[in-house]
Copies of this chain bind each other. A is one copy, B any other.
Amino acid sequence: MRLPAKATHQQTRAFNEGLVLRTLYDLGPISRADVARLTGLTRTTVSDVVADLLSNGLAEELGRGPSTGGKSPILVGVVADSRNVVGLDLGEGAFAGALVNLRGDVRLTDEEPVNGPDGGEAIAATYRLIERLLAAAERPILGIGIGAPGVVDTETGVIRWAVRLDWQELPLGRLVSERFGLPTYVANDSRAAAVGEYLFRQGGRIENLVAIKVGTGIGAGIVLGGRAFQGDGHGAGEIGHISVVDDGTLCRCGRFGCLETIASTRAIVVAARVAAAEDPTTALAAPARNGQYPTLDDVRDALEAGDETARWIVVAAGRALGRAIAGLIGTLNVERIVLLGRVTVLGEPWLDAVRDEARRRSLGPLVEHTSIELGSADDDIVMLGSSALLMTRELDLVPRR
């Protein structure tokens, strides 16, 4: 049980400011009197705090509301563009960044190409992207939210292990925060994506959600009771390295038969290469005639052209993921599962395989209300999620749509 400690005057003031700002944000335009009524604060306190918010530009007066007898009251609301947040997605092939306003509207996007796992170059690319976004910003910047691959300690901003970028125990949060003099929040990219899906696609109306991001790596972001769940060691959702095949192939993590070795886009592309080399009649062999390896898009094209080999590879990858999802369903009984990432270009044949396998391997009463759906095709969900996490930490605001 947490007892209210004796608050200092300053803490009380900060608490009241936060409460008023949240009320304006969630319920505005709203009158000062209604804010006082809803928060239990005195009219004087509310007026003082609102005066501050007006003077620093976070709030604005927005005309008059209906009278309830006396003079019709002035309504106050939060200015969505009074602050911007830098939201980053340290994605595959390129790092993407955006300027996002306090309602989660994307104002500007930018990109920085990144090739292969060069840890130092990846840091430099992150800096360059932030620099350009800050230079382009027309509003005061509240802070920087970063969605990064790997096991991320969100409290310290340390990336414990990110295989893809060859980062280990990298204090990215501190480095960025010191370099740019701005509050910085670093989260695992799948977790940021789950928060983005939860707030911006599902409107924060459900309790629990799992978002699974499948690219060259696989990670799940878990939202429980409306909050991102991290686990004791910040590694919750690291399902890509659950070992699913005995005597499986070598994984980037140094072990064998991890989920990523069958279900990731990397695994799919490798399987396509092998198939193209072994069977020149498959549509997957077409790129080889130009001296190239098949890409994920080639696999999709072959699939759409009715190539059986491509279908076999895609279904195998989907089934492996479905099996992992059955484990998630049995463990968490979460009814909203959203699939994201590059792999979703494979469409229905892949999704059907995922769903079939997840259902087949789960207890009836647990799956009957479970939906497994493709997330939005937009690429901005990690940026939205990481900027929302920064806003929530800095101003206790929870944007949603």
Chain A: residues with CB nearer than 8 A to chain B? 1, 3-4, 6, 22-23, 26-27, 37-40, 151, 160-161, 207-208, 220, 222, 224, 229-239, 241-243, 253, 255, 323-324, 326-328, 330-336, 360-366, 368-369, 398
Contacts and interface: CB of A to CB of B under 8 A. Distances in A.
Nearest to A396: B1
A294 B70 CA distance: 86
Given A1-B398, A4-B38, A4-B40, A232 B365 contact: no
B365 A332 contact: no
A384 B366 CA distance: 27
Contacts of A27: 3
Most chain B CB inside 10 Å of its own CB: which residue of A6, A160, A220, A366:
A366
Contact of A330 (B238, B326, B335): B238
8 contacts: A231-B332, A231-B333, A231-B366, A234-B333, A235-B333, A242-B326, A243-B323, A253-B363
Stoichiometry (number of copies): 2
Contacts of A161: 365
Contacts of A233: 333, 335, 365-366, 368-369
Nearest to A336: B232
Contact of A1 (B4, B6, B26, B366): B26
B208 A366 contact: no
Given A224-B224, A236-B333, A241 B398 contact: no
Contacts of A332: 222, 229, 231, 236, 331
Contacts of A243: 323, 326, 360-362
A240 to B, nearest CB: 8
Contacts of A323: 243
B369 A239 contact: no
Contact of A327 (B236, B242, B398): B242
Contacts of A151: 365-366
